[in-house]
Structure 1
């Protein structure tokens, strides 16, 4: 029995080490992409790109928290997931505020910059999603990380479509529409993370 427990402890330790290694990589990727995409979004005057950069910034905090939570108990991980859900919700509200500003101060974004940098971000976030795939069902901590990464890929594809829409219509409406849809995606993701965290917290408390 003691040998079995020792073996289980070694497996858990190895799993946590693998999770930590993956989280460090995706944290670095998102930190770099935030700087790159926010610069491109400001230069292109694109709400969709700026939304994408805000998503990367939120992910930096999310992955940092997830890295810290790897060695915590399931109940503590649920508390961290509550906080991460709140960050996603805050990002959605920030996007909606940005859209409101662009409606008052309209400007047609540069579709070439939007398309190029959305594809660059897609490659980066696709890499993160691939790295996180095997850990998506490990626990509530890694599930919330997976949720964020999946949102990133969807956001990149949406920004690329927005760039095509701006090119076809020569207007800012496709950019604003995609930014609004991404805000809705963030709201849905926040609800999923918060619900999962609540379920885990209650089961551990009981």
Structure 2
């Protein structure tokens, strides 16, 4: 007999199925939002909005990996979480490269586009955060997903504030400043996810 007494396996299967359903939904939302916001970022020449779109892209990949890890063991979930942390780190480095480029080739982004699409992103990510709320403490896989989703809300609000600052100042510096703050947020999140995954990997070995 495996350790399935008192309906334990049934409870685990139900939890896994609920996780899959949630992850499929938020994966679809983030994939669509990446395309929409990336287009808006390129059109408006906003580095902060670009950071936001890359965050959505990273999240879509993250949710896809999390779907794979749902029914796997703790060791696999920890490895997937580690990879997700590396993806967050890479996103931060891409945005940092764009910031450096904008320092040499400055521009004033279109604040109307920034503001409108940051609010659209905020609405979409609020739905994701709501859906993921009940799963945030279930395992390292879902807690890392929750970390990504929480970052998205902060990113959207920051981009909206940057749009207002660009409007007030007529300068591109608020856009760069917010993008830099988002890089720091991404680096902090990557550190948390990677360290949690390493702890789980050490415990599993």
Q: TM-score, normalised by structure 1?
A: 0.97
Partner of 2:102: 102
Per-residue deviation, 1:6: 5.6
| Residue 26 (str. 1) matches residue 33 (str. 2) | no
- Inter-partner Cα distance in structure 1 for 2:204 and 2:77: 11
- Inter-partner Cα distance in structure 1 for 2:84 and 2:32: 20
Count of aligned pairs between the two proteins: 205
- Inter-partner Cα distance in structure 1 for 2:137 and 2:181: 27
| Residue 13 (str. 1) matches residue 3 (str. 2) | no
Map 1:126-141 → 2, pairs under 5 A? 126-141=126-141
Per-residue deviation, 1:203: 1.4
Per-residue deviation, 1:142: 0.2
Coordinate RMSD, CA, aligned: 1.3
Map 1:127-206 → 2, pairs under 5 A? 127-205=127-205
| Residue 74 (str. 1) matches residue 77 (str. 2) | no
- Inter-partner Cα distance in structure 2 for 1:71 and 1:6: 20
Per-residue deviation, 1:5: 1.7
Deviations 1:54-107 (A, max 9, x none): 000101110000010001100110011110000000000101000011111111
Per-residue deviation, 1:204: 1.7
SS at match of 1:138: coil
Structure 1, gaps ≥5 residues long: none
- Inter-partner Cα distance in structure 1 for 2:136 and 2:2: 30
Partner of 1:60: 60
| Residue 93 (str. 1) matches residue 89 (str. 2) | no
SS at match of 1:64: helix
Q: 1:98 to 1:3 in 2, by over 3 A?
A: closer
- Inter-partner Cα distance in structure 2 for 1:77 and 1:117: 33
- Inter-partner Cα distance in structure 2 for 1:66 and 1:131: 15
Structure 2, gaps ≥5 residues long: none
SS at match of 1:150: helix
Q: TM-score, normalised by structure 2?
A: 0.98
Per-residue deviation, 1:194: 0.5
SS at match of 1:16: helix
- Inter-partner Cα distance in structure 1 for 2:114 and 2:164: 9
Deviant stretches of 4+, over 4 Å = 1-4
Per-residue deviation, 1:3: 9.7
